[in-house]
């Protein structure tokens, strides 16, 4: 009957769920449905559809079924909306005015709140509806302040409150506010730092990880850890490690064992948008969990990023030794020097203090570029020969090492097997649905064929991974990665930026062009002095 077609709207928020858990289930979806159904039947309304939003705040109008209901309202699917109370429909005063006092009346749709007596067909109770709207909004504002204060107290106590852990960690099963190390993901994090410090750029690291088939953090959390996680900044189809993901990992102090929370806040309790807070407003609690990255390694990564950023900002092409050359006396960086009197081009380096402030503060410590490269190259060859003694190599062959490629393939194997098990379950459920008459024989055949095609593909992937694992087990040598890398440096004829960053921490230039080279594989307090 025209005018009696009713839509029932049910909503349960997070706060309501907590009440249900405490034994008060008066706000539960089940009881709302019973209440509204009884009311509709008693008043001879024809129930067209029931819309239900579970765990959704009444402050926002982007609730899934609420949006569906408003779309159907515009299509003229029903004549009246019935909810338990006005606050079930919305707790936002702006939305009360927009929907109850503008959009719905223009569509010829009536709203009824069963418990609080709200009825838009009664013009006399408009003021009471507005007062109820204000009261509901004040309630939300007070609740928001209380929740925020409680969360900040927990943060200051060193409790982790994030919905998802940083990549490399997972929640402690015995205490969900405490982080524990995820061994596999932590290994990937350490690899990222190692690659970066060896000279690989962030984009290059992303390419290497993607080529090895290492899952990006979003997919790893969903498909391996089984979390209901979604990164809004990543497309659903993204499977490639991005520059920004690598950058974020290289700058995340959580890997030092510290909790960094309250880094952003909502502008208003009525707005979901967040604004980044300055560092002085962050809540930082140190040594709350096990570290993945050593402080010295983290600081080296920060220093290298600052060096590369300065080089990019200057607009100049990076030299092989950029960010590594220092004056041995004043300890300031060396500056480039260029030819004079009509000649053009870069020729070498000079102390920056001397160049800017003169001989009263430091001497030139001048060094030609060709001389610098020749000395460093000779030193590198000498170090390689010293490290790669034949007896050392024979000894190293018997030492087992951690094979990261093998670990990655083992994780992929578990992922493939888990997916295969899920498809087998889906296939069995589809057969049960066919036997119970819930789907047709044609539908069953189509679904089963799709499952079989994907299962065949996964079986091929599993066979390939198992074959690779078998080959690795047969050929596992145990060479030390760092020492093995020196094989390439014995007869090296040209220095590269990546080579220098991988091996050298700092070069100090003395008077008359002498060098002290601090290698990363030596003690930091010792270096080789070259004439």
Residue 21 pLDDT:
47
Report the C-alpha gap between 143 and 151 in whole angstroms. Answer: 12
Would you say residue 487 lies in a domain?
Answer: no
- pLDDT higher than 70, residue 231: no
Would you say residue 42 lies in a domain?
Answer: yes
- Do 144 and 178 belong together in one domain? no
Would you say residue 396 lies in a domain?
Answer: no
- Do 109 and 210 belong together in one domain? no
Would you say residue 163 lies in a domain?
Answer: no
- Give whole-number Cα distances, 172 to 157, 176, 182, 258, in Å: 17, 5, 10, 16
Tokens representing 377 are 């190259």
Q: What is the CATH number of the domain that holds 51?
A: 3.40.50.1390
- State the residue for tokens 């008077």: 511
- Do 350 and 250 belong together in one domain? no
pLDDT digits (tens, 9 = 90+) for 382-392: 777 666 555 54
- pLDDT higher than 80, residue 296: yes
Would you say residue 397 lies in a domain?
Answer: no
Q: Look up the pTM and report it.
A: 0.45
- pLDDT higher than 90, residue 243: no
pLDDT, average across residues 338-354: 78
- Give whole-number Cα distances, 82 to 115, 404, 417, 496, in Å: 11, 59, 48, 73
Residue 401 pLDDT:
42
- Do 186 and 215 belong together in one domain? yes
Angle between helices 243-250 and 183-197 (to 10 degrees): 100
Residue 386 pLDDT:
66
**Residue 337: beta bridge partners?**
348
- Which of the two residues, 486 and 11, has the higher pLDDT score? 11
Domain boundary pick from 95, 123, 152: 152
- Do 52 and 117 belong together in one domain? yes
- Do 371 and 505 belong together in one domain? yes
- pLDDT higher than 70, residue 247: yes
pLDDT, average across residues 278-291: 91
Residue 397 pLDDT:
46
Report the C-alpha gap between 436 and 427 in whole angstroms. Answer: 14
Residue 398 pLDDT:
45
Would you say residue 350 lies in a domain?
Answer: yes
pLDDT digits (tens, 9 = 90+) for 180-192: 999 999 999 999 9
Number of other CB atoms surrounding residue 5 within 10 Å: 17
- Do 363 and 258 belong together in one domain? no
* Backbone angles phi and psi of 348, in degrees to 5: 175, -150
Residue 326 confidence class, pLDDT cut points 50, 70, 90 = very high
- pLDDT higher than 90, residue 240: no
Round the average pLDDT of the chain to a whole number and report it. 79
- pLDDT higher than 70, residue 91: yes
Number of other CB atoms surrounding residue 185 within 10 Å: 24
- Do 180 and 267 belong together in one domain? yes
Domain boundary pick from 266, 298, 330: 298
- Which of the two residues, 136 and 44, has the higher pLDDT score? 44
- pLDDT higher than 90, residue 49: yes
- pLDDT higher than 60, residue 114: yes
Residue 78 burial by Cβ neighbours in a 10 Å radius (0-12, 13-18, 19+) = buried
- pLDDT higher than 80, residue 345: no
Residue 452 pLDDT:
87
> Between β-strands 346-351 and 334-338, what pairing exists: parallel, antiparallel or unpaired?
antiparallel
Report the C-alpha gap between 81 and 94 in whole angstroms. Answer: 19
* Backbone angles phi and psi of 362, in degrees to 5: -170, 165
Report the C-alpha gap between 523 and 45 in whole angstroms. Answer: 84
Which of 235-244, 265-274, 337-346, 445-454 is the most confident on average?
Answer: 445-454
- Do 38 and 124 belong together in one domain? yes
- Do 133 and 202 belong together in one domain? no
- pLDDT higher than 90, residue 55: no
Would you say residue 312 lies in a domain?
Answer: no
Residue 344 pLDDT:
62
- Percent of the chain topping pLDDT 70: 76
Residue 404 pLDDT:
54
- Do 231 and 182 belong together in one domain? yes
Residue 184 pLDDT:
92
Q: What is the CATH number of the domain that holds 244?
A: 3.90.1750
Which of 72-76, 148-152, 161-165 is the most confident on average?
Answer: 72-76
Residue 475 pLDDT:
46
Tokens representing 127 are 């003021």
Instruction: Point out the least confidently predicted range of 2-6, 341-345, 466-470, 478-482.
Output: 478-482
Report the C-alpha gap between 308 and 353 in whole angstroms. Answer: 21
Residue 23 confidence class, pLDDT cut points 50, 70, 90 = very low
Residue 251 confidence class, pLDDT cut points 50, 70, 90 = very high
The total number of structural domains that make up the chain: 4
Question: Strand runs (DSSP E) across 135-174, as ranges?
Answer: 169-172
Instruction: Point out the least confidently predicted range of 79-93, 99-113, 254-268.
Output: 254-268
Would you say residue 303 lies in a domain?
Answer: no
- Which of the two residues, 409 and 1, has the higher pLDDT score? 409
pLDDT, average across residues 305-334: 72
Domain boundary pick from 263, 298, 333: 298
Residue 69 pLDDT:
94
Residue 343 pLDDT:
56
Number of other CB atoms surrounding residue 510 within 10 Å: 17
Residue 415 confidence class, pLDDT cut points 50, 70, 90 = confident
Residue 175 pLDDT:
92
Report the C-alpha gap between 386 and 143 in whole angstroms. Answer: 69
Helix (H) or strand (E) holding 259: strand 259-261
Instruction: Point out the least confidently predicted range of 248-262, 476-490, 496-510.
Output: 476-490
- pLDDT higher than 80, residue 487: no
- Do 347 and 429 belong together in one domain? no
Is 299 in a helix, a strand, or coil?
Answer: helix
The alpha-helical segments, DSSP class H, found in 476-517 are 481-485, 497-503
pLDDT digits (tens, 9 = 90+) for 361-378: 888 888 888 889 888 888
Residue 481 pLDDT:
47
Instruction: Give residue 230's domain range.
Output: 169-298
């Amino acid at each position: 009957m025209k005018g009696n077609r009713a839509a029932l709207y049910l909503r349960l928020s997070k706060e309501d769920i907590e009440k249900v858990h405490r034994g008060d289930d008066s706000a539960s979806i089940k009881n709302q449905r019973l209440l509204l159904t009884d009311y509709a039947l008693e008043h001879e309304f024809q129930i067209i559809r029931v819309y239900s939003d579970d765990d959704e705040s009444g402050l926002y109008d982007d609730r899934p079924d609420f949006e569906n209901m408003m779309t159907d309202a515009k299509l003229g699917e029903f004549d009246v909306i019935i909810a338990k109370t006005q606050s079930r429909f919305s707790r936002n005063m702006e939305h009360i005015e927009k929907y109850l006092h503008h959009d719905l009346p223009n569509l010829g749709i009536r709203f009824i709140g069963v418990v609080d007596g709200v009825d838009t067909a009664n013009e006399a109770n408009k003021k009471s509806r507005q007062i109820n709207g204000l009261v509901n909004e004040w309630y939300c504002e007070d609740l928001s302040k209380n929740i925020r204060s409680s969360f900040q107290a927990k943060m200051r106590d060193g409790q982790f409150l994030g919905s998802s852990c940083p990549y490399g960690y997972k929640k402690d099963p015995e205490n969900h506010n405490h982080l524990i190390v995820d061994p596999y993901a932590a290994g990937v994090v350490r690899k990222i730092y190692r690659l970066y410090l060896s000279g690989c750029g962030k984009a290059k690291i992303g390419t290497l990880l993607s080529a090895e088939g290492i899952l990006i953090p979003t997919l790893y959390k969903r498909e391996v850890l089984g979390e209901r996680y979604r990164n809004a900044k990543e497309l659903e189809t993204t499977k490639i490690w991005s520059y920004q993901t690598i950058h974020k990992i290289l700058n995340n102090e959580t890997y030092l064992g510290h909790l960094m929370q309250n880094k952003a806040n909502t502008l208003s309790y009525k707005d979901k948008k967040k604004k980044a807070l300055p560092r002085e407003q962050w809540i930082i609690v140190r040594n709350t969990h096990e570290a993945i990255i050593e402080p010295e390694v983290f600081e080296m990564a920060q220093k290298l990023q600052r060096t590369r950023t300065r080089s990019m900002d200057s607009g100049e092409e990076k030299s092989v030794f950029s960010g590594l050359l220092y004056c041995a006396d004043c300890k300031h960086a060396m500056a480039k020097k260029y030819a004079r009197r009509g000649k053009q081009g870069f020729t070498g380096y000079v102390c920056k203090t001397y160049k800017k402030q003169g001989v009263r503060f430091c001497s030139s410590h001048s060094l030609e570029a060709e001389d610098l490269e020749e000395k460093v190259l000779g030193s590198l060859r000498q170090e390689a020969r010293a490290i790669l003694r034949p007896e050392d190599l024979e000894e190293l062959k018997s030492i087992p090492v951690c094979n990261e490629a093998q670990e990655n393939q083992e994780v992929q194997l578990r992922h493939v097997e888990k997916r295969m098990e899920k498809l087998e379950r889906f296939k069995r459920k589809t057969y049960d649905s066919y036997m119970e008459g819930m789907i047709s024989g044609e539908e069953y055949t189509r679904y089963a064929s799709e499952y079989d095609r994907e299962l065949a593909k996964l079986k091929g992937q599993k066979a390939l991974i198992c074959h690779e694992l078998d080959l690795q087990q047969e050929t596992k040598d145990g060479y030390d990665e760092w020492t093995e890398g020196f094989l390439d440096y014995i007869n090296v004829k040209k220095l590269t930026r990546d080579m220098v960053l991988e091996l050298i921490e700092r070069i100090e230039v003395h008077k008359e062009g002498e060098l002290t080279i601090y290698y990363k594989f030596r003690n930091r307090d010792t270096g080789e002095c070259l004439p």
